């Protein structure tokens, strides 16, 4: 129970409307408000839990129902998708067009003894090399990132019927789990406080508040009129305990949490970086330059020498020379 009365914290100036979901899933929002304005007897019944924690069978059943306590995030695409996308560059399109035109002129339209495969082979080799190098770099970096993620694990202390206090990975927590919190802990799910002792939680990552907020276990009668982030008996996944201790019960986990709703909104293809934008600008500048130079060289050669086929081949040579094949 709260043993010391602290100074009253200033009200959070959160830019949310109290009549909107504020990014919460509607079902999760109703559940959070329900447990906020009821005492322990009722919210334990709502969450199908008890003060001694969940049994192994209850945990298994809830995990099948709600899944792991993990936030949705963009995963690296399969290797064959990465390989396919590594060929999709403006310069590759130019080189493949040149290789195709060279095949038609030097091979398909030429007599059997005069066929020349050199241009086709050289240009195709450049496309393959540049694309495979790009694929290998991206694939290796994605694999390294996945290995780093798997090495980082965060644990939480829960109360279970058979084992009592037990330290488990955060992803194994299910709704209804009794969680023991102390200074330095990360809140592993959206929780309702059951007991607290001078509990202060930093919510800056969700609300932008500089100062930690005091959390108490007392029920809030007008919870349905407030944003969940303003309810003093709720803690949210991803926030941190600054000081004090508490016993809490997990209400929502994974993507149903407020942190999870932010993750779902942000999940998807990441926007191009400044480097990507710079490379694209240079690429299209060189392509525009090529589109001006190649026809010009073709016309000047054709008019002055009179051999239009040779002028076309020379134009293709200029196009290949202007294309930086190894540009990322």
- How confident is the model over 117-160, as pLDDT tens digits? 887 888 888 889 888 988 898 888 888 877 776 666 788 999 99
Chosen domain end from 244, 264, 284: 264
Q: Kindly state whether residues 210 and 229 are assigned to the same domain.
A: yes
Chosen domain end from 264, 289, 317: 264
pLDDT at 189: 92
Q: Which residue has the tokens 């926030």?
A: 239
Helix (H, G, I), strand (E, B) or coil at 257: coil
Tell whether pTM > 0.75. no
Q: Kindly state whether residues 25 and 128 are assigned to the same domain.
A: yes
- Segment 224-249 shows an average pLDDT of 90
pLDDT at 13: 39
Q: Kindly state whether residues 169 and 288 are assigned to the same domain.
A: no
% of the chain at pLDDT higher than 90:
21
Q: Kindly state whether residues 307 and 223 are assigned to the same domain.
A: no
pLDDT band at 192 (very low <50, low <70, confident <90, very high): very high
Distance CA 102, CA 124 (A): 11
Q: Kindly state whether residues 195 and 307 are assigned to the same domain.
A: no
Q: Kindly state whether residues 67 and 164 are assigned to the same domain.
A: yes
**CATH code assigned at 180:** 2.70.150.10
Q: Kindly state whether residues 248 and 277 are assigned to the same domain.
A: no
Q: Within a domain: residue 50? A: yes
Q: Kindly state whether residues 110 and 164 are assigned to the same domain.
A: yes
What's the DSSP call for residue 224?
A: G
Q: Kindly state whether residues 48 and 170 are assigned to the same domain.
A: yes
Q: Within a domain: residue 197? A: yes
Q: Kindly state whether residues 204 and 319 are assigned to the same domain.
A: no
Do residues 202 and 83 lie in contact, with contact meaning Cβ atoms separated by under 8 Å? Answer: no
On the question of pLDDT at 324 being above 50, the answer is yes
Domain total of the chain:
2
Q: Within a domain: residue 13? A: no
> Length of the chain, please?
328
pLDDT band at 11 (very low <50, low <70, confident <90, very high): very low
On the question of pLDDT at 8 being above 70, the answer is no
Helix (H, G, I), strand (E, B) or coil at 245: strand
Q: Kindly state whether residues 126 and 156 are assigned to the same domain.
A: yes
Q: Within a domain: residue 201? A: yes
Q: Kindly state whether residues 235 and 162 are assigned to the same domain.
A: yes
Do residues 323 and 91 lie in contact, with contact meaning Cβ atoms separated by under 8 Å? Answer: yes
Q: Within a domain: residue 41? A: yes
Q: Which of 281, 260, 285, 261 is nearest to 272 (CA)?
A: 281
Q: Which of 243, 241, 224, 223 is nearest to 232 (CA)?
A: 223
Q: Within a domain: residue 9? A: no
Q: How far is CA 47 from CA 90, 105, 177, 178, 212, in A?
A: 55, 74, 9, 11, 28
Per mean pLDDT, which range of 215-224, 247-256, 279-288 is the poorest? 279-288
Q: Within a domain: residue 83? A: yes
As a whole number, the mean pLDDT across the chain is: 81
More confident residue, 276 or 292: 292
Q: Within a domain: residue 5? A: no
Structural domain boundaries, residue 278? 271-328
Chosen domain end from 208, 238, 264: 264
Annotate 91-140 with DSSP letters as a single string.
Answer: HHHHHHHHHHHHIIIIIISS-GGG---HHHHHHHHHHHHHHHHHHHHHHH
On the question of pLDDT at 5 being above 60, the answer is no
């Amino acid at each position: 129970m709260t043993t010391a009365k602290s100074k009253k914290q200033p009200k959070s100036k959160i830019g949310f409307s109290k009549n909107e979901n504020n990014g919460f899933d509607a079902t999760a929002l109703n559940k959070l408000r329900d447990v906020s304005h009821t005492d322990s007897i009722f919210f334990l019944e709502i969450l199908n839990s008890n003060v001694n924690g969940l049994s192994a069978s209850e945990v298994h059943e809830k995990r099948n129902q709600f899944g792991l306590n993990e936030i949705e995030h963009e995963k690296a695409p399969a290797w064959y998708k990465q390989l396919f996308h590594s060929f999709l560059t403006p310069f590759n399109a130019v080189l493949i067009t040149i290789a195709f035109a060279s095949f038609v002129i030097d091979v398909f339209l030429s007599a059997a003894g005069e066929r020349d495969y050199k241009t086709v082979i050289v240009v195709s080799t450049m496309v393959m090399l540049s694309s495979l190098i790009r694929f290998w770099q991206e694939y290796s970096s994605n694999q390294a990132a996945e290995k780093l993620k798997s090495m980082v694990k965060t644990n939480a202390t829960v109360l279970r019927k058979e084992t009592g206090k037990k330290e488990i990975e955060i992803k194994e927590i299910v709704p209804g789990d009794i969680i023991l919190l102390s200074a330095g802990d990360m809140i592993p799910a959206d929780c309702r406080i059951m007991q607290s002792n001078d509990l202060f939680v930093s919510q800056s990552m969700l609300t932008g508040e500089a100062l930690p907020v005091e959390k108490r276990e007392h029920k809030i009668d007008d919870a349905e009129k407030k944003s969940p982030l303003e309810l003093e008996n709720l803690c949210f996944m991803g926030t941190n305990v600054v000081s004090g201790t508490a016993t809490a019960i997990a209400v929502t986990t994974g993507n149903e949490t407020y942190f999870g709703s932010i993750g779902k909104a942000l999940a998807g293809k990441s926007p191009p970086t400044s480097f990507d934008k710079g490379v694209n600008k240079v690429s299209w500048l060189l392509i525009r330059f090529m589109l001006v130079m190649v026809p010009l060289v073709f016309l000047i050669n054709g008019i002055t020498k009179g051999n239009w086929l040779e002028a076309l081949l020379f134009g293709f040579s200029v196009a290949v020379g202007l294309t930086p094949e190894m540009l990322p």
